Amino acid sequence: MLDKSRIEALRNAPVAPALHLIDGVARPASDGGIMEVLSPLDGKPLTTMARGTAADAHAAIAAARRAFEDGCWSGLAPAARKAVLLRWATLIERDALELAVLGVRNNGTEIGMALKAEPLSAAATIRYYAEATDKIYGEIAPTGDDVLGLVHRAPVGVVGAIVPWNFPLMIGTWKLGPALAAGNTVVLKPAETASLTLLRLAELALEAGMPPGVFNVVLGEGAVVGEAMSLSPEIDVIVFTGSGGVGRRLLENAARSNLKRVYLELGGKSPNIVFADAPSLDEAVKVSANGIFRNAGQVCVAGSRLLVERSIHDAFVEKLAAFSATMKVGDPLDPASAAGAVNSLRQLEQNLRFVDEARAQGRKVVLGGRRILEETGGYFMEPTIITGVGPDDPIAQREVFGPVLAVIPFDTEEEVLRIANGTDYGLAAAVWTGSLSRAHRMVRAIRAGVVHVNTYGGSDLTVPLGGVKQSGNGHDKSLHAFDKYLDLKTAWIKL
């Protein structure tokens, strides 16, 4: 149970101005610049943070390079790194509620989801990769008797991580966990609208005994700090979750600088497919609603396209609208709220433009479509369901990243596969069917990094998450994530 009195005590706690954390020291921006941090709960200033410069980014990169080269982290025995990471996970759990409330005040996620998906998820992720640290082995090649071939796994060096605002701790630790466990050093740039918890995470890493310079945080704008990171010849790998436009820019800058590897998770327009033979339409309704409307739809894998077999389309939409209307949208620090605030006014206005465009095309808004609770000053939007959507409509092709669901009917398996695969994205999908054969056919045919069957979401760290097509490359989660942060080095030894 959430401690409501503790949440209320933390709700109004003052938040100190946020500074960079570089080489273990809190630093202001090199030119003294600051940015105002507005809370999506009421639109009011929460605190300020340093507006990073290219010089700040370069200082953090230099600190990370020194820490890597002197071996204070990469040179530790894996068991020693593991011990620090385990202490770090314990500290994150110790401060979980404080981190969750701070995160809610910063980015608007409802507290019930925030506690589980942010600090508790982050602690579990760090612990998972900590436990793997001393269990990653090299290889012995099957050579002739006169040669010994060894394959070593070596840390890549300095990792630049650029993290989004929707789940900063969860997504951040998906990158930090394997990168640090492998012996690399990291420069992290959080999103401008959700930096506070990641900065606190770095402070806890120091408290756990991580050497200064191993994990650095530079605050500020992506166009400045992220640009400097992606152009730096001293960063060996960039990992990023965010928009396709920024992903392209990172790739361009890698080519312009040192050809650093760039791994991208660029979102999606994920199809949630409901066949008439689904085991439970009521369950499909509930899970589908949560799969698009929790966290105000601000989830990379959100099921934002609902593809429903025509024979059940009208009845399913009616049930879905009725259930979704009961989802309380409101104060995200109220445990009774099923969905919280949109992260920023800019994002809210973008969401509403998509709805207006669909209306102008003659599509039917059967639920929602409006800003609500405007009197609070916060950025809240109703769960929105739009029917009559064509597969090529902008709302069916472009990522909204808000609580907006496009519903498309279909008649055959072949047709729904064309629709499901008919976007530039390929991150996630779901299939609801009682046919085992159909489920396997759909999993095989849908082009996506993860396909859920008779559920939506909920996968854990044991399986990878990554996209195909313009949803990106590389994988977060699971042991496969180490592939991004380790180089293979061959030793060919004449005996």
Going by pLDDT thresholds of 50, 70 and 90, the confidence category of residue 264 is very high
Between helix 436-445 and helix 413-420 the angle, nearest 10°, is 30
Can you list the domains of the chain with their CATH numbers? Answer: 4-266+472-494 (3.40.605.10), 271-459 (3.40.309.10)
What mean pLDDT is predicted for residues 119-144?
A: 96
In the predicted model, is pLDDT for residue 144 greater than 90?
no
Would you call 399 a catalytic residue per the annotation? Answer: no
In the predicted model, is pLDDT for residue 262 greater than 80?
yes
Find out whether 189 and 163 touch, Cβ atoms under 8 Å. yes
Matching residue, tokens 């996630």: 428
- Residues 369-400 pLDDT 10s: 999 999 999 999 999 999 999 999 999 999 99
In this predicted structure, what is the pLDDT of residue 92? 98
The DSSP annotation for 24-70 comes to TEEE--TT--EEEEE-TTTSSEEEEEE---HHHHHHHHHHHHHHHHT
The SS3 assignment for 408 reads strand
What mean pLDDT is predicted for residues 159-177?
A: 98
The DSSP annotation for 210-271 comes to PPTTSEEE--S-IIIIIHHHHH-TT--EEEEES-HHHHHHHHHHHHHTT--EEEEE-----E
In this predicted structure, what is the pLDDT of residue 1? 67
Of the candidates 118, 234, 265, 399, the residue annotated as catalytic is 265
Average pLDDT, the chain: 97
Going by pLDDT thresholds of 50, 70 and 90, the confidence category of residue 458 is confident
User: What percent of the chain has pLDDT above 70?
Assistant: 100
What mean pLDDT is predicted for residues 317-326?
A: 98
Going by pLDDT thresholds of 50, 70 and 90, the confidence category of residue 2 is confident
pTM assigned to the model = 0.97
Q: How far apart are CA 396 and CA 130, in angstroms?
A: 40
What mean pLDDT is predicted for residues 99-122?
A: 97
Q: Write out the two tokens for 339.
A: 């969905």
